[in-house]
Amino acid sequence: MKQENSYTLGIFTLTMLFVICGFTMWLNATLVPYLKVACELSNVQAYFVTLVFYLACAAAVFPSLRLLSNAEPAGGMAIGLMSMAAGALIFIPAALLRTYPLFLLGLLVAGAGLGLLQVAAGTCASALGASARALRRRNALHICGTVAGVAGTLAVGSILFYKIDSLEASIRIAEGASRAAELDTLAHKVVLPYLVITLTLLAAAVWVKYSPLPNTGVERSGAQEAGGGNAAHPLRLGLGALALFLYVGAEVTGVVSIALYGKSVGISLAVASALPACALLVAVLGCLLGAAVVPKHIDGMRAVGVCAALGVIFAVAAVLAPDGASVAFVALLGLSASPAWLLASSLTAKAGRSLGARAVALAAGALGGALLPLAYGYLADTVGNRHAYWLLAPCYAAVLLYAVFSFPAAKKNTPPQN
C-alpha cells in the first residue's frame, strides 16, 4: 500500500510539472502579439521572445545532466521551478518600466529553468513505472502539458487583450505623454497574472522539494547513460536531431505566429489572441488520435511521416488559400506537429533511451523553437506574414524524408507497447 501511494504521488507530481511546462512554454504565443503592441516592436523584434526563451532552454539542458547526476531529481526540479519563478518575477518591473530588454531577461531566466525541469521531469516520467508503458505514460503527460497550454493562452490572453482593439486605436492617435500613458496601461496588465504565476511556481518548488517522490534512480542511471556506450551511430543521432530541430521549430512557429497573422488578414486582435489556443487544441486532438493508433495500427515513424506530409500541404495551403481559410490551415499545422514527441521518443530509443540522448532531443527541439520563429519574423517584415509561411513547407518536407528513410530502423528499434 505504501509503494502504491508513493507511485500515485509521483504520477500526480509529474503531471503537475508537465502542466507547468506546457503552461509556461506556450504563454510565448500570447506574449509575442502582446509585447509587439505594448513595446512597439517590428515582427522580427517580437520574435526575440521565442529566441531568448528557447535558446536559454537549450543552453540549460546539458549543464542539467551534471546537476541531476549529483542530486536527487526532486532537487533539480525545484531549482528549475525557482528559476522559472524568478523569470516570471522579473516581468513585474519590466511591465512597470515598459522595458523590452527586461522582459527578455525574464524570459532568459525562465527558459533556463524550463530546460532543467524538462530534463528532470522527462527522465522521471520514463523511469517511474513499467518500462513497457513508458511511451504511453510520456504521451499522456505531454497531452496534459498541451492542454495546459490551451488553458494558459486563453486565461492570460483574456486579461492581456481585454478591450485591446479600442486601446490600440487610442494608442495610434495619441501623441507624446498621452501615448506613453496608454502604452503603460497596456504594459501594466501583465503584472497581476505574472505575480500569480510567480507564487504558483514557488509553491510548486516547495511541493516538489519536500514531497516524498519515489526513488527512480535518475541520478545514478542518468550519469551512467549520459556518457555510456549504448549510443546510436552519431550520423543517425545527428540526422534525428536535425529533423527534431525542424519539426519543433515549425510547430512553435505555427502556434506563436497565428495571432499576428490573424490580425494581418483583418481579424481583431482580441479575437486573434485566441487563435494559438485553437492551434494547440488541434495538436491535442492529434495526440489523442496518435495514442489510439500508435503503435497498434501504425508505427511511430510512419505516423510522423503522415503528419509531416500533411504539414507540407497545410503550409502551402496557408499561403495560397483565401484569408479565413488560410488562418484555418495555419491552425491545422498543430495536427501536423502533434507527433513531434514520437520523433523525440524514436531518437532516444535509438540511443538506448539514455539521458544524454534525451538531452540532445530537447536541445535540438529548443533550438528549432528559438531560430525558426525568428526567421519567420524576418520574412514577415520583408515579404509579409502570409508568404512567410513558405518557410514551413521545406521544414515539414525534410521531416517527411527523415521519417521515410527511418521506416526500416523504426521497426527494429520501437519497443512493444502495452
pLDDT value at 381 more than 50:
yes
* Superfamily of domain 2-406 in the CATH hierarchy: MFS general substrate transporter like domains (1.20.1250.20)
**How far apart, in whole angstroms, are the C-alpha atoms of residue 15 and residue 394?**
35
Q: What are the structural domain ranges in the chain?
A: 2-406
pTM for the full predicted model:
0.88
Overall average pLDDT of the 252-272 stretch: 94
Helix (H, G, I), strand (E, B) or coil at 97: helix
pLDDT value at 415 more than 70:
no
pLDDT at 130: 64
Interval 268-304: pLDDT, tens:
999 999 999 999 999 999 888 888 887 777 877 888 8
Q: What is the DSSP string of 191-209?
A: HHHHHHHHHHHHHHHHHHH
Burial of 17 (0-12, 13-18, 19+ CB in 10 A): buried
The distance in angstroms from the start CA to the end CA of the chain is 24
**How far apart, in whole angstroms, are the C-alpha atoms of residue 323 and residue 123?**
43
What is the band of 417 on the pLDDT scale with cuts at 50, 70, 90?
very low
Interval 163-178: pLDDT, tens:
898 888 888 888 888 8
